[in-house]
């Protein structure tokens, strides 16, 4: 059966028809690294990890690009909010803040078994490609530098008739949502491709460009990186449902206006609510990655986030992890019972019903139903003493759970720790290196900030003659 995915632009299921037969190029909008990862970030990354794993199972060679937005208004504002009240203390540079948060994302993704992308480009490493793309748009009459001397460059929405085709909106509904002053724009619908440097911004947050020093707008970053790493046309563009407008609408417009076909399919994962409410700082109901990984085994967290269909909104409730623990436990008990009965697994073969569900727009809920039905039949066969049925059931469950990344036997703790510990250790050790460097440079304020950050996360430091030791809650 051909793999089919729901395409947001056509609002229909479409057969996957790769640009290059046998190969799939996929671009996924990664994090803007201004603050710690939360449950929504994990759910989005996991959705495309599941898709990537299934496509590879189906024999495709997948190139997955997941970017890191490490320069943005949100990052500069986050650093500005953290500036110490004591003017004698120096705030961390924006790029150091962005890197620390990026490490948190990497650790969280690794902890729940999200495979590393083929490439993970940072926006700051691709400024040249963005400047080139903006230049093409200006040359083709679809962008214009501001005339107020600010150095801003805007996309001329009115010059591109196809604007709005992704979200099927038109007219006043297509306001850009830009935070920048609108006086330099010809139309409030136009959006920033380049933001001229402002006096209050760090000098390090500006790059040279023909129209003036500054930094890229958020939307142009992804267009430039997708084209650079996947070519002018690729197969799948993914991201959260909240990115459809304006981010993905603007990406599609500026890329196609520059003369490239861009993405064939647009795939969007649903959002996450908590006990029926949207996560927000005002409600204080945000669920962070650290909260989840502190409350359950990583395989259980992965199962809980993967169980709903990727396009549906996932309501995370107080009992969600308990339900996921019970589901993973049923899989484990089948393996344990078969082992106790001395029955080895047969060849790992995925049932046709499971494959049909996954081919049909990544139907994980239906696929999990097949998996648990197989678990039930395996247990019944153990009770009946039918070793052949047990062996085939165990092999099939291993195959199904394996391709979903929820096979408990692959999450066993390694000597001295487990995957969560390894991810945490990597993050803590990197922060300790920064602290040691700050202390060598006699930058006591920076060293104290690292200690305070770790202490707030429950990490206890003990400085000694042979270096710094760390532990969780002193244990």
Q: Which residues contact 384 (CB under 8 A, 6 or more apart)?
A: none
Task: Give the closest residue to 412 by CA, choosing from 425, 399, 421.
Answer: 421
Structural domain boundaries, residue 454: 419-460
My answer on whether 245 and 198 are in the same domain is yes
My answer on whether 121 and 85 are in the same domain is yes
pLDDT band at residue 417 under the 50/70/90 scheme: very low
CB 308 within 8 A of CB 314: yes
Q: What is the pLDDT of residues 107-137, one digit of tens each?
A: 999 999 999 999 999 999 999 999 999 999 9
CB 462 within 8 A of CB 472: no
* Per-residue pLDDT at 413 exceeds 90: no
* Per-residue pLDDT at 255 exceeds 70: yes
What integer is the mean pLDDT of 59-78?
A: 96
CB 43 within 8 A of CB 30: no
* Per-residue pLDDT at 458 exceeds 80: no
Burial of 276 per CB tally in 10 Å (0-12, 13-18, 19+) = exposed
My answer on whether 105 and 135 are in the same domain is yes
What integer is the mean pLDDT of 436-463?
A: 77
My answer on whether 234 and 255 are in the same domain is yes
Instruction: Supply the CATH number for residue 124's domain.
Output: 3.40.50.620
pTM of the full structure: 0.85
Which one has a higher pLDDT value, 87 or 185?
Answer: 185
My answer on whether 387 and 408 are in the same domain is yes
Q: What is the pLDDT of residues 350-401, one digit of tens each?
A: 999 999 999 999 999 999 999 999 999 999 999 999 999 999 999 999 999 9
- The per-residue pLDDT for 72 is 94
My answer on whether 382 and 452 are in the same domain is no
Which one has a higher pLDDT value, 368 or 412?
Answer: 368
d(CA 237, CA 141): 26
Instruction: Supply the CATH number for residue 339's domain.
Output: 1.20.120.640
3-state DSSP assignment of residue 460? strand
- The per-residue pLDDT for 472 is 64
DSSP letter (8 states) at residue 174: G
Report yes or no on 44 lying in a domain: yes
Q: Ranked by mean pLDDT, which of 239-253, 426-440, 445-459 comes out on top? A: 239-253
d(CA 278, CA 335): 38
* Per-residue pLDDT at 159 exceeds 70: yes
Residue 472, number of CB atoms within 10 A of its CB:
13
Task: Give the chain's mean pLDDT.
Answer: 90
d(CA 189, CA 193): 13
CB 343 within 8 A of CB 387: yes
Question: What six digits make up the tokens of 181?
Answer: 């002053």
My answer on whether 404 and 262 are in the same domain is no
Q: What is the pLDDT of residues 166-197, one digit of tens each?
A: 998 875 555 655 544 556 889 999 999 999 99
CB 65 within 8 A of CB 117: yes
My answer on whether 131 and 231 are in the same domain is yes
């Amino acid at each position: 059966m051909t793999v089919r995915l729901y395409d947001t632009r056509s609002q229909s299921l479409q057969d996957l028809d790769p640009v290059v037969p046998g190969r799939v190029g996929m671009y996924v909008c990664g994090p803007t690294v201004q603050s710690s990862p939360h449950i929504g970030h994990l759910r989005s990354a996991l959705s495309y990890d599941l898709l990537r794993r299934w496509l590879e199972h189906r024999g495709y060679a997948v190139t997955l690009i997941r970017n890191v937005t490490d320069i943005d208004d949100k990052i500069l504002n986050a650093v500005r909010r953290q500036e110490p009240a004591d003017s004698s203390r120096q705030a961390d540079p924006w790029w150091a803040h962005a890197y620390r948060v990026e490490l948190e994302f990497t650790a969280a993704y690794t902890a729940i078994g999200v495979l590393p992308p083929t490439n993970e480009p940072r926006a700051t490493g691709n400024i040249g490609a963005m400047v080139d793309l903006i230049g093409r748009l200006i040359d083709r009459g679809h962008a214009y530098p501001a005339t107020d001397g600010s150095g801003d460059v805007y996309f001329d929405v009115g010059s591109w008739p196809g604007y709005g085709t992704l979200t099927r909106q038109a007219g006043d509904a297509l306001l850009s949502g830009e935070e920048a002053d609108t006086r330099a724009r010809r139309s409030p619908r136009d959006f920033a491709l380049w933001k001229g440097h402002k006096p209050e911004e760090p000098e390090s947050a500006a790059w040279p460009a023909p129209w003036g020093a500054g930094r890229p707008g958020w939307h142009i970053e992804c267009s430039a990186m997708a084209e650079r790493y996947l070519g002018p046309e690729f197969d799948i563009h993914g991201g959260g449902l909240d990115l459809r407008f304006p981010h993905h609408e603007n990406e599609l417009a500026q890329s196609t206006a520059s003369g490239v076909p861009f993405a064939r399919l647009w795939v969007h994962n649903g959002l996450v609510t908590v006990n029926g409410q949207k996560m927000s700082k005002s409600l204080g109901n945000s669920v962070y990655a650290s909260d989840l990984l502190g409350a359950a085994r990583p395989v259980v967290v992965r199962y809980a986030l993967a169980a709903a269909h990727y396009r549906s909104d996932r309501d995370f409730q107080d009992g969600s992890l308990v339900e996921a623990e019970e589901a993973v436990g049923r899989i484990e008990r089948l393996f344990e019972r078969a082992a106790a009965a001395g029955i080895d697994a047969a060849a790992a073969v995925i049932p046709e019903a499971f494959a049909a569900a996954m081919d049909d727009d990544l139907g994980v809920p239906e696929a999990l139903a097949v998996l648990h039905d197989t678990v039930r039949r395996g247990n019944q066969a153990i009770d009946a003493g039918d070793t052949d049925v047990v062996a085939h059931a165990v092999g099939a469950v291993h195959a199904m759970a394996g391709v979903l990344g929820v096979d408990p036997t692959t999450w066993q703790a390694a000597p001295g720790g487990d995957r969560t510990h390894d991810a945490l250790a990597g993050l803590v050790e990197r922060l300790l290196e920064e602290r040691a460097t700050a202390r060598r440079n006699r930058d006591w304020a920076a060293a104290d900030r690292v200690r305070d950050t770790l202490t707030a996360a429950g990490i206890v430091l003990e400085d000694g003659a042979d270096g710094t030791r760390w532990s969780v809650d002193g244990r």
